[in-house]
Structure 1
Amino acid sequence: MKPQTEISVTIINQAQSGDPAARGQLYHHFSKGMFSICMRMAGERALAEDILHDAFITIFKHLPQLKQPEAVAGWMRRIVVNECIRQTSKKIKIEEWNSEIIDIEENVEDDFYKNISLAQIHEAIKELPDGCRQVFVLYTMEGLTHKNIADAMGVSEGTSKSQYHRARSLLKENIMNFLKVANG
């Protein structure tokens, strides 16, 4: 049997009306993916769980206002990302970087990761400094622009760009070190 990839509009409509069973189905259907976003952004399980909890409270509170039930996944994703930014910005302070001082490698080899597993890449992402990790996740995985990231995090667009490039450089360094150790 093929797994269901989309949730029915009927269930969404029932959840919008406050049906607890439909809301449970909605949570069950989306919570794992939304938790992955929280983990990537928060970097620690306890905080990610708190963020997910608060995000779903917001989702269920505002669900009746959703005009296009078929857009529920993207709508929920935006709420989760915004909640991640809101809660982690309390503890993460991103330094303003002077991009003239930082050596930003524009030609970083894009294939340095090909000999490493996806799980190892995710571990390397979790090891990034908090500000770098958040910008990296928002830009590469959530598709936000540096302007959107800067606005959401209260930093300059240049800082977002430099944090992203710093994250790429640190990821490459960490993965290359791992490969050196693994290959003896």
Structure 2
Amino acid sequence: MKAQTDISISVINQAKNGDSVACGQLYHHFSKSMFSICMRMAGDRALAEDILHDAFITVFKNLPQLKQPEAVAGWIRRIVVNECIRQTSKQIKMYEWNSEAADIEDEKDTDWYKNISLARIHEAIKELPDGCRQVFVLYTMEGLTHKNISEAIGVSEGTSKSQYHRAKTLLKENIINYLKVANG
């Protein structure tokens, strides 16, 4: 199945041929959603802006090689995620954290977050330690497996799992504490 996009194929083809107006339209169309990915991964606005900038340089440099213009959304997303991994991995230190606990899912308490706004959840994600945030975003929002994450960021699969488990634990604690304060 090919990724759907509502930007016209002709604009994509014009951008592939170096048309600067079409490149601008492509950037305008995708930059907001791609910036959201950068913010989730970086947790810092300035770094996210740098990542987005570098990712779009890569997009425009490699655009002539895009074989399926209708798949441009997924193609750009992959470039952005890879650039996020590349730039944030330089700054993030991963620590093994109770790898046995990472394989245990707490199934009895899965609805704790359902009355929390997405904005609050996103804020809590931004507050996670860098390594936890990176793995959490790649796993939950980008759909990578722990094996793919471990290969992409150069850690063991167990470290990826434990960072994900730690992220979930910290998110839950953060949001529960927020609710306690908000509800007096």
Provide the rounded CA distance (Å) in 2 between the counterparts of 1:68 and 1:105. Answer: 41
Distance apart, 1:103 and its partner CA: 6.9
CA offsets 1:37-70 (integer angstroms, 9 cap, x no match) = 0000000000000000000000000000000000
Q: Is the 8 A contact 1:104 1:166 kept in 2?
A: no
Does the aligned pair in 1 maintain the 2:96–2:162 contact within 8 Å? Answer: no
Q: How does 1:92-131 map to 2 (within 5 A)?
A: 92-100=92-100, 102=101, 105-108=104-107, 109-131=109-131
Residue matched to 2:179: 179
Distance 1:80 1:161, change over 3 A: same
Aligned AA (2:27): Y
Please report how far the alpha carbon of residue 182 of structure 1 lies from its aligned counterpart in structure 2 after TM superposition: 1.0
Change beyond 3 A, Cα 1:142–1:27: same
Q: Which residue does 1:65 correspond to in 2?
A: 65
TM-score (norm 1): 0.94
What CA deviation, in whole Å up to 9, does each residue of 1:130-178 have, x standing for no partner?
0000000000000001000000000001110111011001101111111
Q: Distance in 1 between matches of 2:102 and 2:24?
A: 49
CA RMSD of aligned residues (A): 1.3
In terms of mean alpha carbon deviation, does 16-25 or 105-114 score higher? 105-114
- TM-score by length of structure 2 reads 0.94
CA contact (8 A) 2:96 2:163 kept: no
How far has the Cα of 1:183 moved from its partner?
1.1
The match for 1:22 is 22
CA–CA distance in 1 between the matches of 2:103 and 2:174? 17
In the other structure, the counterpart of 1:140 is 140
Distance 1:16 1:28 in 2: 16
The gaps in structure 1 that reach 5 residues or longer are none
Q: Is the 8 Å Cα contact of residues 38 and 81 (structure 2) preserved in structure 1?
A: yes
Mapped contact 2:102–2:164 kept (Cα < 8 A): no
Please state which structure has a larger fraction of its residues in helix. Answer: 2
Which residue is equivalent to 1:86? 86
1:121 touches 1:175 (CA, 8 Å); kept in 2? yes
CA distance in 1, matches of 2:31, 2:99: 38
Unaligned runs of 5+ in 2: none
Larger RCO of the pair (alpha carbons < 8 Å, separation 6+): 2
Name the count of aligned residue pairs.
179
